[in-house]
Amino acid sequence: MPNVVVLPGDGIGQEITPEAIKVLKAVLKDSSLKLEFENYLIGGAAIDEAGKALPDDTLEAALAADAVLLGSVGGPKWDTLPAQQRPELGGLLAIRKALSLFANIRPVKMLPMLVEASTLRPEVVKNVDLVVLRELTGGLYFGEKGRKTNPPSAYDTLIYSDEEIRRIVDLGFQMARQRCGKLCSVDKANVLESSRFWREITLDVAKKYPEVELTHMYVDNAAMQLVRYPTQFDVIVTENMFGDILTDLASMLMGSIGMISSASLNGKKGLYEPAHGSAPDIAGKNIANPLATILSGALMLRYSFDLEDEAKLIERAVESVLEQGYRTTDLAKPGDKVLGTREMGDAVVAALGKK
């Protein structure tokens, strides 16, 4: 039986992951595939109980698992620790690195009933349905960095190997082929050597995918175009730093990152988590929004287990619940029916049954 390691983490992570598991179990009730879920510690919770943010048994289990579902990590309690030991660097970044997750995927799909939450005009965002694919293990984040004297200075290195670029761009083409057939590769080739290299390799990989329409866009223009005319995009692929900025910017088209799911992949192996944080201020009150984590569960079915139909069932159930006017407090407007975290999970399960 395929095995999913569940890492609730800190804050609202403890409340939202059980809702995702509830929905996953429900959608797989009549399926031939069953998933086994095992909980492990990560982040601040792991620091408190096991002395470090990524305990050995968590790491071993994650390495052996077919997929990992993560809630969120961090909180003020651990902010005074040295950066490397904190929940974020010591837990989340460490597990992403240990699993060699080189591709981060964030789908941004506007739902009609959420158009009003966006700061952009309804006609600009109403049909947004795009994915930003971000390289996650290279570039400025992991290149050589340090300080120099004479003159006093500091540096980071944006470096990419042929193979690092090739595998993420290839994944971009695959995703574009399964979606609307359009891939936009974002770089800064007019200035950066690493971007010119990126573009050369992208053009080479493109030969394998004649059915995909490839375009190139400079990163500053891409930021503008996401705000000016976001429906022009299908799949965007880009390097780590540019992707860090563009994934968040694209998510903001939705008005908040409260509904944004994400997948970080290395082949079929993946870590699935909401884009939002641990929100310690609202933790333990049964008011957190579990939908981004539930939608991350759908991504897990799609990317780690090839269960496209079941993934779509979850996505449609979430839409249906929102269509019925149910909202958690973060999304609620006058007239909406406000649900707690658990009740929202139940509502999604109920909506699954109504197909």
Give 56 or 123: the residue with its C-beta nearer to a copy of itself: 123
CB of 250 to Mg ion, least distance (A): 11
Contact of residue 50 among a copy of itself, Mg ion, none (CB under 5-8 Å per partner type): none
The residues annotated with a catalytic role in the active site are 141, 188, 220, 244, 248
Nearest to 78 by CA among 11, 147, 148, 176: 11
Q: Is the dihedral of CA 245, 251, 257, 259 positive or negative?
A: negative
Task: List, in sequence order, every residue forming a beta bridge with 72; answer none if it has no partner.
Answer: 9
Of 192 and 350, the one with the shorter C-beta distance to a copy of itself is: 192
Per CB under 8 A, contacts with a copy of itself among 48-107 are: 83, 88-89
| Paired residues of 108 in beta bridges | 130
Task: Report the nearest approach of Mg ion to the CB of residue 348 (Å).
Answer: 27
Q: Which residue type is seen at 206?
A: A
Coil, helix or strand for 305?
A: coil
- Considering only residues 28, 159, 282, 338, which one is a binding residue for a copy of itself as defined by CB under 8 A? 159
Residue 252 is a binding residue for a copy of itself (CB under 8 A): yes
Nearer CB in complex with a copy of itself: 32/150: 150
As a whole number of angstroms, the distance between CA 110 and CA 253 comes to 8
**Count, residues in the chain:** 355
156 scored as a contact of a copy of itself (CB under 8 A):
yes
By the rule CB under 8 A, 330 interacts with a copy of itself? no
Our finding on whether 228 is near Mg ion (CB under 5 A) is no
Look-up of token digits 């009150």 = 285
CB 72 within 8 A of CB 9: yes
Binder among 79, 220, 306, 309 for Mg ion (CB under 5 A): 220
Least separation, in Å, of the C-beta of 64 and Mg ion? 29
List the one residue from 98, 113, 180, 249 that touches a copy of itself (CB under 8 A).
Answer: 249
List of residues 6+ apart from 296 with CB closer than 8 A? 20, 69, 261, 262, 263, 272, 273, 274
Distance separating alpha carbons of residues 143 and 160, to the nearest angstrom: 9
Binding segment (CB under 8 A) for a copy of itself, from list 38-46, 62-70, 113-121, 259-267? 113-121
Window 229 to 258, contacts with Mg ion (CB under 5 A): 244, 248
Tell the residue number behind the tokens 């929202």, with chain if given: 344
Longest CA–CA separation in the chain, Å:
69
Q: Is 227 in the site for a copy of itself (CB under 8 A)?
A: yes
Separation between Cα atoms, residue 330 and residue 338, nearest integer Å = 9
Dihedral (C-alpha) 340, 346, 350, 351: value to the nearest 10 degrees? 50
Taking CB under 8 A as the rule, which mask of x and - marks residues 192-221 in contact with a copy of itself? xxx-xxx--------------------xxx
CA distance 261 to 271: 11
Smallest distance, Å, CB 272 to a copy of itself? 20
Calculate the CA 201 to chain-centre distance. Answer: 25
Q: Which of 224, 281, 306, 325 binds a copy of itself (CB under 8 A)?
A: 224
What, of Mg ion, a copy of itself, none, does residue 219 touch, CB below 5 to 8 Å by kind? a copy of itself
Q: Which residues bind Mg ion (CB under 5 A)?
A: 220, 244, 248
Q: Which residues bind a copy of itself (CB under 8 A)?
A: 83, 88-89, 119-121, 124, 140-141, 143, 145-148, 151-163, 188, 190-194, 196-198, 219-221, 223-224, 227-229, 241, 244-249, 251-253, 255, 257
